[in-house]
Amino acid sequence: MAKKRGVPAHGRKSARFHRARKKRYLVVAGGAVTERQYFKQLESIYDVVIEYQQKNESPEHLADFACTLKKEDERDISTDCYENIWVVVDVDDYHDHSKAAKICKDNGIELIISNPCFEVWLLDHMKACPPSYTLTPDVESAAARAGIVGGNRNKYVNDELIDSEHLDAAIRNAARHNTVENSQGRNRLTPHHEQEYAPWTDMPKVIETLKSNKQS
């Protein structure tokens, strides 16, 4: 439920020209460059506020951090609550995704996994990530060749390719590798069996939420 914000008791400007505030979202992630830039672009496309908090921590610790930020936000009566909170993680060398998933579920937060890395989703903007691409170097190289990332160490997103048309294509392409078999591995989140559901990305859920909330 949205928090109520006090309205000044006087002042024609504030009374007559009250502006609807943009919906707020929170992303907690480990990515310092690529993901931050990507969500900044989504902020512009969907006309919302996406607050991005980054820490070089494991998924479990990022989930704990998101819970702390959620509680702090709920105590702040000067703003509306976050519409959604997403913990956005890669697989990398971590094996605590099931613990992160439980923390998120217990606290009304969504865990968004890209396996093996966020570039799976970025590549989907151009073409479906091939099923054989289960390792980070393969996916990162393919994303660079496709032109969706570039710059220093290919960490920078090509903003011109992040638009409604490419987002719709990304959702369609993700469905091609987010198979029923992969979804079973994604739901189990068995430690040290991450390759059983690669390639995978939960990012379509984020886009669908932003799209539906914009239309509401």
pTM here is 0.90
* Dist CA 37 CA 29 (whole Å): 12
b or e along 139-150 (b: 16 or more beta carbons within 10 Å of the residue's beta carbon)? Answer: bbebbbebebbe
> How confident is the model at residue 216, as a pLDDT?
63
In a domain, 3, yes or no: no
Tens digit of each residue's pLDDT (9 = 90 or more) over 115-150: 999 999 999 999 999 999 999 999 999 999 999 999
Tens digit of each residue's pLDDT (9 = 90 or more) over 186-212: 999 999 999 999 999 999 999 999 999
What type of residue sits at position 170?
A
In a domain, 15, yes or no: no
Instruction: Give the residues across from 177 on adjacent strands.
Output: none
Domain hosting 147: range is 22-215
In a domain, 140, yes or no: yes
In a domain, 211, yes or no: yes
What are the respective helix, strand and coil percentages of the chain, to the nearest 5? 50, 15, 35
Tokens for 9, please give them: 């008791």
Tokens for 106, please give them: 């217990």
Domains in the chain, number: 1
